[in-house]
Amino acid sequence: MSQDALVKRQFGHRARLALSPAGVLKTDDQAHAARTMWNLLHAWWQMMPKEKRTLANADAAIRQAREDIGFLAVLPAQAAQAVLKMYFQAWKNCWDGRAGAPNFKGRFRTVMSVDIPQGRDLNIVRVHRRWGMANIPKVGRVRFRWTKGLPVGKHANADNRITGARLIKDALGWHIAFRVQTLQGKPEPHQGPDIGIDVGVSVPIALSNGERYEHGEWLTGKEKDKLLHLEQRAAQRKQYRKPGEPAGRRLHHTYGQIRLNRSISGEAWGRTVTMLAYKTARHGGTLVEVPAAGTSRRCSACGHTTPGSRESQAVFVCKNPDCGWSGNADYNAARNVLHLYRMGRALIPAAGRAVVRRAKRVKPAAAR
């Protein structure tokens, strides 16, 4: 195969770590130090005048902080540099309109993670059919579950290699997510039909051809109970508000807690779009995002937006006297998404809830 037919691709592979109790404590300390480093950087950014907010000054600040604050020394120097780069990248994303402004990271609402920016520091070897070994800076040699072939040893070269990793803690413990770069054959453009996709709550993924896909729960049982309790509290406090009267401080606080809980499922929507983007690219397709405003209220049959057509979360009935079309609300939104794509209403850079893909269909459950 010629070099013109090859393309470099990057993907991640997540594996479970088998840490000892002492290793868990060391990794936890590194994650807390990384979060503290981020918060110190944000505080430094807010105090500094604009002309002094440079990468060089920030680097000098974190080096001084590692000398003055003892527990920050548990974080490897390269991991501290990775925090610095991610913080500046977060501001760049904000300035480009791709994300909101960075903020302080809370202890209990932030995912614990530590970055290992250099793949050569891992020294990965396969010791068993089911287990591999990796070197974690300031933790030592750690076993991880070998569930997929990795470019290590004689299989690694400049085009196929592990470029770094990140340690992530979830409800099941610590995992390691490898960043893998490979040289693969460039896929042929897929000639499949255009498909509109609507991402929602009651129906996670609805397609314009009538198909739908489910996935696992986004909120735990306790999170669902808390969200229901907050919504009931908001409804109760709203009853005592007179028409036209602004919401009180307590009601605003309750609304803020509800948005925080819903942001958990919002992150899952973002991951779904990311998975679809790289899956379609691997099969020669493309993923395009279109404006989500109005896609759930517009009738996909007649094109009119009539008040009251969205009767419930799952049913859409067009109130236009000349139409009267009825059907699943998510299916209707997916058809509107496809219409916007065909009208050339793509968003650049990609943003929004509604998406369109032109590729072989891939079930989200297979996106791992």
275-290 pLDDT, tens digit per residue, is 788 788 777 888 888 8
Q: 126, 114, 149, 152: which is closest to 28 by C-alpha?
A: 114
How does pLDDT run across 57-73, given as a tens digit for each residue? 999 999 999 889 889 99
Percent of the chain exceeding pLDDT 70 equals 85
Tokens found for residue 76:
């490897």
Res 349: pLDDT: 43
Based on its alpha-carbon atoms, the radius of gyration of the chain, rounded to whole angstroms, reads 24
Residue 37's pLDDT is 94
pLDDT mean across residues, the chain: 81
φ/ψ of 8, rounded to 5, equals: -80, 130
For residue 5, pLDDT over 70 is answered with no
Enter the tokens of residue 347.
Answer: 């968003």
The H or E element that residue 229 is part of is helix 221-239
Greater confidence, 74 or 187? Answer: 74
Residue 31 CA to residue 118 CA, distance in Å, equals 17
Of 197 and 28, the structure prediction assigns the larger pLDDT to: 28
Q: What is the pLDDT of residue 352?
A: 39
The secondary element (H helix, E strand) that includes residue 51 is: none
Q: How far is CA 153 from the centre of its chain?
A: 31
Residue 206 has pLDDT above 80, yes or no: yes
Asked whether residue 114 carries a pLDDT value surpassing 90, the answer given is yes
**Residue ranges of domains in the chain:** 1-186, 195-366
Kindly state the tokens that stand for 40.
């110190």
User: Phi and psi at residue 223, in whole multiples of 5°?
Assistant: -65, -40
Give dist(CA 259, CA 233) in Å, integer. Answer: 14
Instruction: Provide the residue type at 77 as one letter.
Output: A
Q: Provide the pLDDT confidence category of residue 361 given band limits of 50, 70 and 90.
A: very low
Tell me which residue has tokens 């290590």. Answer: 152
Q: Does residue 314 surpass a pLDDT of 90?
A: no
Does the pLDDT of residue 10 top 90, yes or no?
no
pLDDT tens digits for range 232-246: 878 877 777 777 777
Q: Residue 367 — pLDDT band, cuts 50, 70, 90? A: very low
Tell me which DSSP letter residue 211 carries: -
pLDDT at 144: 94
First-residue to last-residue Cα distance in the chain: 28
Query: Comparing 76 with 330, which gets the higher pLDDT?
Result: 76
Per-residue tokens: 77: 């120097």
pLDDT of residue 201: 62
Number of Cα atoms under 13 Å in the Cβ half of residue 25: 2
